[in-house]
Amino acid sequence: MAAKILIAEDSPTMRSLIVSTIAALGDYEIVEAANGFEALRILPREKVDLVITDINMPDINGLELVSFVKNNPNYQNTPLFIISTESSERDREKGMALGADAYLVKPFSPEELQSLIRQYLPQEA
Amino acid sequence: MSDHSSSRAIHEFLAEAEEIIENLNRGLVSMGEQVESGEIDPDTVNAIFREAHSIKGLSGMFGFDDISQLSHQMENLLDSLRLGKLSLSRQMLEVLFQGVETLARLVSGKADDDAFQLDLGPVMALIENLLEGEPDPAADLLDGIDLDSSLLNVLTEYEEHRLRENLSRGRRLLLVKANFSLASFDQELAELTDALKKTGELISTLPSPGDADDRIGFQLLVGTDRELSEVSAAIDRDSVKFEEVHRKPPSSGAHPTTANPTVTNAEVEDVATGSELTDPVAGADEQAASLRSFSRTVRVDIEKLDNLMNIVGELVLSKGAIQRIAEEIKDKVSNDLAADLHKATRGLERRLDELQAGVMEVRMVPISQLFDKMTRIVRRVANEHGKSVSLDIRGAETELDKLIVEDLTDPLMHIIRNAIDHGIETPEERKSAGKEERARISLHASQKGNHVVIEVQDDGRGIDPQRVRQKAIEKGLISSEVVLSREEVHDLLFMPGFSTRDEVSDLSGRGVGMDVVKNNIAALSGMIEIDSEPGQGTTMTITLPITLAIIKALIVRASGQTYAVPINSVLETLMLDPAVIETIERREVIELRNSTLPLLRLSEAFDLPLNEHHEEKLFVAVVGLAEKRLGIVVDELLGQQDVVIKSLGRTLSFVKGIAGAADLGSQRTILVLDVGGLMSEALRAEVGAHV
């Protein structure tokens, strides 16, 4: 059973970059959400093993999503990464305080993301 | 460049970047309108900030450091603005516009060559100067409210600022709590959100686990000028609870009060009702449905649509062939089978028409995509020349084929630049001429049948016919004895070599590159006309077909050659007795319903050998674009047919009077006439005849 990763990011280009970076790692299933709203719909319906979210999204932002995941008994143990830019340091700190497991600062290299994923979702040999 | 940079990925990035720049531009325009009214909408500022933020993140990923640096600086400036650290000024708006303009140039440059660069120093320095003026943030008002930390902790820096802003304006803070079924929460939340936005500003939406496994809770923070009871009455939903967030008493060490009194429209015990509580988790179909994006948009490369259009075109031709065969069978073999075949081809024709219309529709984009770019041009060029210009846009929702919109960008930019550079006077000149100091350019698009008409009108100094005439005489384009109508004088501006760069400052300069503009528009089967009133202003009218791909054409023959004339330019066809042709000033004309119609013999226009046999009768296709008319004289009219236009390619693009080639479906390729080009050549020859 391949591990499932949920990506919440409103920029389609950034989303497809993340998807292709993960695809290069091999056997992961990817579910995409174009905003926080969509991520909320997906979470109860899919058994997600990892969440990767942007912070700045319309309507429901990344911090609100982190809070929802980490306060929910169903998902609180699901690892969650935040993606943010250099300038949103305060928001990033807040995200980590809310229980995010790791963060990536844009622009990040594919290797950075890949090594984080390997760390949190080791694939069976 | 990082390893993200495959050419396809870069292409995707540039497409999204272009979209972001358009959004930035639109946002700044509406922010500019708000500056006038003195009331800035925080949502507008935040939306622009988010766009700058997106392009910064993306360009960094692709290793476009220059785009990333500039958008980063713009993001900082917008961040200070949205967080209330800086207030919006005209100067800041100008700098932001310059930033967007530079981003647009960088992105379009990199689309051709990813090593393209610009000197960003000046615009970066401008932004830097504005940022240095940043004052310290005011004392924190958030300590003064009794809001649970679980809510405060999920507010982004921007949301915190909005919360402070609402507090400093003395607005009431409401906490709205709702619980929805997982199966339908998105719709219910959207309805609640919309209703709340009508009562005030929605600052934050925090989702939380619901009061049952199959439910989800939300806490929404709203700033409002209304009473709590008023808001709850306006929402009027049973399952929604309202609390007022109180301010702490000013004494230090205040203890947070316990639960605030809550108001509900009905203290609802969420009783499970079967349908509401079923979670559509089982079943692949429902799963698929649950992953549907809210966005109903697909971005498609125009080349794919071209491809599709070509296939539709080929189908149209095949349909024509089948129809002809069916007709023949019906004529020769009169039986049920032949009748059925005939009926089936009619059905095929209807469906094919729908398919063709559908593909056409997909290619259509609102002309606002082009007009939005012009707002930037107007702003920049007006600033460069120290002129004050307002741009009035109408009909931006008019739709045109995407490729036409793209190809129209440069000609339209040139026309507008010319209008500001040469047509519009300085504020001082305008004042002394008794005009408003602020000039006006109006950009107006409208659909007329199968054409779109774009008018660019300015209220500047207009074109001085005497000076244009003088210039044409100096350049040997006309003789000094000739008397020209105002329209003929305006046509001179489109003659190649009418003006040269070193004389731009001489006379109005309206002829600079206008021949190129005209050719570009002619290449789109369009036409451009000038009308000007000295002292009052100038209007340029561009008439274009809505789409270029498949057209209905009138098939004609001249000197044994077959041509296609786009039917949307044909007003009528006539049979002509050569005896009624008159010659006025060496031009052949006929009298048609009390007006004179100039004629153009197609054989002569293309230097074809004249027919040997004596002309007993000729045919005329009367064509018209905008206000002009011309009779194209041919030997035969062969009927109407759908044709698929193919470009002649760059190598043959210089051929005058030909818009492209078309496949007739019977393995024959014919040329399609460029009616606009032929008309301007023929009607210009009238001017030339005076030389």
Active site residue B594: no
**Which alpha helices (DSSP H) does B83-178 contain, by range?**
90-112, 121-132, 149-152, 157-168
pLDDT (average), residues B378-383: 84
Chain B residue with minimum CA distance to A37:
B186
Within 10 A of B321 (CB to CB), how many other CB atoms are there?
Answer: 11
pLDDT digit string, tens, across residues B197-244: 988 999 999 898 877 878 889 999 999 988 888 888 888 777 788 888
**Per the structure block, which two tokens stand in for B23?**
């959004």
Yes or no, beta carbons of B209 and A35 under 8 Å apart: no
Q: Cα-Cα-Cα-Cα dihedral of B504, B507, B509, B515, to 10°?
A: -110
Sign of the C-alpha dihedral computed for residues B486, B488, B491 and B492 taken in this order? negative
Within 10 A of B515 (CB to CB), how many other CB atoms are there?
Answer: 16
CB of B58 within 8 Å of any CB in chain A? yes
A125 to chain B, minimum CA–CA distance in Å?
A: 26
CB of A94 within 8 Å of any CB in chain B? yes
CA of B150: how far to CAs of A51, A64, A97, B146, B155, in Å? Answer: 21, 10, 11, 12, 9
**Per the structure block, which two tokens stand in for B586?**
């060496």
A120 to chain B, minimum CA–CA distance in Å?
A: 23
Helices (H) and strands (E) in chain A, counts: 5, 5
Report the distance separating Cα B442 and Cα B460, nearest Å. Answer: 12
Yes or no, beta carbons of A94 and B154 under 8 Å apart: yes
CB B266 within 8 A of CB B291: no
Active site residue B179: no
pLDDT digit string, tens, across residues A98-125: 999 999 988 888 899 999 999 998 765 4
**Beta sheet of B451-458, edge-to-edge order:** B389-394, B439-448, B451-458, B537-545, B527-533
Yes or no, beta carbons of B60 and A65 under 8 Å apart: no
Query: Residues 631 to 690 of B: which have CB under 8 A from any A CB?
Result: none
CB B9 within 8 A of CB A17: yes
Q: Which residues of chain A lie closer than 8 angstroms to B207, CB-CB?
A: 40, 60, 64-65, 67-68
Best mutation target among A32, A63, A64 (most B Cβ atoms within 10 Å) is: A64
B93 to chain A, minimum CA–CA distance in Å?
A: 22
∠ CA(B289), CA(B290), CA(B296), 5° rounding? 70
Mind listing the pLDDT tens digit of every residue in chain A (125 residues)? 789 999 999 888 888 889 989 988 888 899 999 988 889 989 988 889 999 999 988 778 899 999 999 988 889 899 999 998 766 778 888 899 899 999 998 888 889 999 999 999 876 54
B667 pLDDT more than 60: no
Residue tagged active-site, from B19, B22, B53, B406: B53
pLDDT at B36: 65
pTM of the full structure: 0.48
A vs B: CB pairs below 8 A: 133
CA of A38: how far to CAs of A18, A33, A69, B494, B614, in Å? Answer: 17, 5, 14, 56, 77
Q: Could you give the 3-state DSSP secondary structure of residue B1?
A: coil
pLDDT (average), residues B480-505: 70
pLDDT at B612: 56
Chain A residue with minimum CA distance to B216:
A40
Residues in Cβ contact with B592 at an 8 Å cutoff, skipping those fewer than 6 apart: B574, B622, B631
